[in-house]
Chain A
């Protein structure tokens, strides 16, 4: 929680420095925008982030590589301002993708995996490559605040439905011990895994963001989504810690 709090403070600091630079949008336009009670925008953005355990478990001894992959968000947002107020509410629908590839070193990483007739249980020490590529349909519920004609902020929650998910990778250059750290030891050059079928369908989290309007109808946007439940079903044994998607999205919005 402390980390979440720090992040929010940081965001506010960063955004407030930007907010000081308010250029000139003609007064007439300003009024049109500010007085519009219903705003409908479409947007497209690039997402970068990670699906990570927090804090990192002690079994993970190092991160050797990270590739954000091609994360995108396409969406439509409907905003309603309260009468005569800078405050409003917003919802919408996003088609988004949260992915990454990581390369990690592990020590005694407990793993369980089911197959048709049995269950593999072991402790793996070595290298693990993980590729996550999850496609979601997301509904946000946000409060908004117009700080100025150029700047507006939003914060709230989001609810996602998994359309298509991949969580796969390989374990390599290490060894596995049967059942637990005292079991028979076998060197592993390469073993593949895929847990896409065990991903949770419904997922939710917190979202905060801002927009900077640099033309009348066009704005740059940035937002952060912080997952509040693990991407796997609870009780899923193959990955014994919870993995939370934490993704930032940068993009452009267009006011219809």
Chain B
């Protein structure tokens, strides 16, 4: 409506010399009357997130819960002291303004884990979301663990694969992450197999993980991320920064170190894509894509662990040991690898730190080494299976 008002005022200005000035006041009044009707009352909130856990409640349970809860879009994970019965916990959550929460049920996650199921409802009543609240015992990776990529499922929206491990108590641990949640925003990928990180049947034994450097379509390109390398790593993917600061979306590391790692071993199969492109999707004819397979052990504050991210995962001063595949082979057959950890930053492994939970470890595989910076060849494919971190037996 205010456009009409502008029009009237302009019309008036044209004739201002001949029309009496008091009319101008009349039109100004009309403008004032019409203008505010444009913006309507704010709708009630449609979001229904668990934003935080009430700190008073956390204080009230004291040392039964270790560290800070990890809150993602569908889960809240508490780490509890061994022997604590978490099934009776009734945490107070901080929700989106106006949202409500209902506790649905409790289930058990292996021998040592409790899962409470909640549903949140948005203020406008149109949306709801199911949250799984995990209470996990603070277990570490058992020394004979083989990462065989047999445990996977579909994400909450049913579009792409997510991987987890099952610890010695039968508890599901969501320690694997990938960039699939970021790729989902581009609208590409009809089935889970089309995503850059996908489960694949043809493993060394059973299933393996298939990583493919993929085109992100017009939307990825507009966002300055023309390709997405397939990746899988021990840590978390924070889709919140996936578009803004993509290097910070990959949070590497889990605090599950049982001993000093000696070497990593496993199998891979790699074929690089035909056309290598840079950050702006310009072809770089002289370059050939390479894959990345590495593992990093780094120091953390046990109470307040800060993960590594895409900016510093191989360069942080906190890194103690690194094992990296240096000369990869392109092959249609599985290639066995065995890479020793090497010290960097003039550090030594500290056995007291292990006892105090002061180390974190990550394993990373990516179909394009420059994938963090959106450099690589669409079509580069890396299969990985049967990965084992071999620990010192002491």
Q: Which residues of A line the B interface, CB within 8 A? A: 3, 7, 10-11, 14, 17-18, 21, 48-50, 52, 55-63, 107-108, 113-123, 175-193, 220, 222, 224, 246-248, 250
- Which residue of chain B has its CB nearest to the CB of A189? B244
A246→B3 contact, CB < 8 A = yes
Q: Is B59 on the interface with A (CB-CB < 8 A)?
A: no
B42→A50 contact, CB < 8 A = no
Chain B residues near A189 (CB, 8 Å)? 243-244
A107, chain B: closest CB distance, angstroms: 7
Q: Is B73 on the interface with A (CB-CB < 8 A)?
A: yes
Tell me the complex Cα distance, A202–B227, Å.
38
B182→A118 contact, CB < 8 A = no
Tell me the complex Cα distance, A248–B4, Å.
8
Please pick, from A55, A193, A250, the residue contacting B14 in the complex, using a CB distance under 8 A. Answer: A250
| CB-CB under 8 A for A178 and B189, given A189-B244, A250-B10 | no
Contact with A along B20-31 (1 / 0, CB 8 A): 000100010010
Chain A residues near B223 (CB, 8 Å)? 190-191
Please pick, from A50, A113, A186, the residue contacting B243 in the complex, using a CB distance under 8 A. Answer: A186
Chain A residues near B128 (CB, 8 Å)? 182
Tell me the complex Cα distance, A62–B129, Å.
29
Chain B residues near A183 (CB, 8 Å)? 73, 157
Q: Is B75 on the interface with A (CB-CB < 8 A)?
A: no
Please pick, from A48, A50, A184, the residue contacting B181 in the complex, using a CB distance under 8 A. Answer: A184
A126, chain B: closest CB distance, angstroms: 12
A199, chain B: closest CB distance, angstroms: 18
5 A-B residue pairings within 8 Å (CB atoms): A3-B1, A14-B12, A18-B15, A59-B43, A117-B189
Contact with A along B328-345 (1 / 0, CB 8 A): 000000000000000000
Contact with A along B49-90 (1 / 0, CB 8 A): 100000000000000000000000100000000000000000
Tell me the complex Cα distance, A178–B10, Å.
45
- Which residue of chain A has its CB nearest to the CB of B243? A186
Q: Is B41 on the interface with A (CB-CB < 8 A)?
A: yes
Chain B residues near A188 (CB, 8 Å)? 243-244
A192→B19 contact, CB < 8 A = no
Contact with A along B112-129 (1 / 0, CB 8 A): 000000000010000111
| CB-CB under 8 A for A182 and B185, given A48-B10, A246-B3, A250-B14 | no
Tell me the complex Cα distance, A29–B15, Å.
23
Tell me the complex Cα distance, A224–B187, Å.
41
Chain A residues near B219 (CB, 8 Å)? 113, 115, 120, 191
- Which residue of chain B has its CB nearest to the CB of A59? B43
B93, chain A: closest CB distance, angstroms: 15
- Which residue of chain A has its CB nearest to the CB of B128? A182
B: contact size bracket: 35 or more
Chain B residues near A122 (CB, 8 Å)? 185
Please pick, from B43, B184, B240, B243, the residue contacting A108 in the complex, using a CB distance under 8 A. Answer: B43
Please pick, from A61, A190, A247, the residue contacting B42 in the complex, using a CB distance under 8 A. Answer: A61
Please pick, from A21, A181, A187, the residue contacting B46 in the complex, using a CB distance under 8 A. Answer: A181
Most buried by A among B48, B129, B187, B189: B187
B175, chain A: closest CB distance, angstroms: 19
Chain B residues near A248 (CB, 8 Å)? 3-4, 6-7, 10
A204, chain B: closest CB distance, angstroms: 19
A108→B46 contact, CB < 8 A = yes
Q: Which residues of B line the A interface, CB within 8 A? A: 1, 3-4, 6-8, 10-12, 14-15, 18-19, 23, 27, 30, 37-43, 46-49, 73, 122, 127-129, 157, 181-182, 184-190, 215, 217-219, 222-223, 239-244
Chain A residues near B127 (CB, 8 Å)? 180-182
Tell me the complex Cα distance, A250–B41, Å.
34
A63→B43 contact, CB < 8 A = no
A118→B4 contact, CB < 8 A = no
Please pick, from A113, A179, A246, the residue contacting B157 in the complex, using a CB distance under 8 A. Answer: A179
B131, chain A: closest CB distance, angstroms: 11
Tell me the complex Cα distance, A113–B42, Å.
25
Q: A14-B8, A114-B187, A248-B7 are in contact. List 15 more A-B contacts (CB 8 A).
A: A10-B4, A10-B8, A10-B30, A18-B15, A55-B38, A58-B41, A115-B187, A123-B46, A180-B46, A181-B47, A181-B127, A185-B240, A186-B239, A190-B223, A222-B11
Chain A residues near B23 (CB, 8 Å)? 17
A178→B157 contact, CB < 8 A = yes
B185→A186 contact, CB < 8 A = yes
Tell me the complex Cα distance, A118–B220, Å.
12
Please pick, from B1, B12, B188, the residue contacting A117 in the complex, using a CB distance under 8 A. Answer: B188
Chain B residues near A181 (CB, 8 Å)? 46-48, 122, 127
Tell me the complex Cα distance, A84–B39, Å.
49
B12→A177 contact, CB < 8 A = no
Chain A residues near B47 (CB, 8 Å)? 108, 177, 181-182
Most buried by B among A61, A184, A193: A184
A118→B188 contact, CB < 8 A = yes
Tell me the complex Cα distance, A235–B215, Å.
28
Tell me the complex Cα distance, A175–B218, Å.
19
B217→A191 contact, CB < 8 A = no
A224→B157 contact, CB < 8 A = no
- Which residue of chain B has its CB nearest to the CB of A180? B127
B242→A50 contact, CB < 8 A = no
Please pick, from B11, B39, B184, B215, the residue contacting A184 in the complex, using a CB distance under 8 A. Answer: B184
B239→A185 contact, CB < 8 A = yes
Closest 4 CB pairs of A and B: A248-B7, A120-B187, A118-B187, A181-B46
B218→A116 contact, CB < 8 A = yes
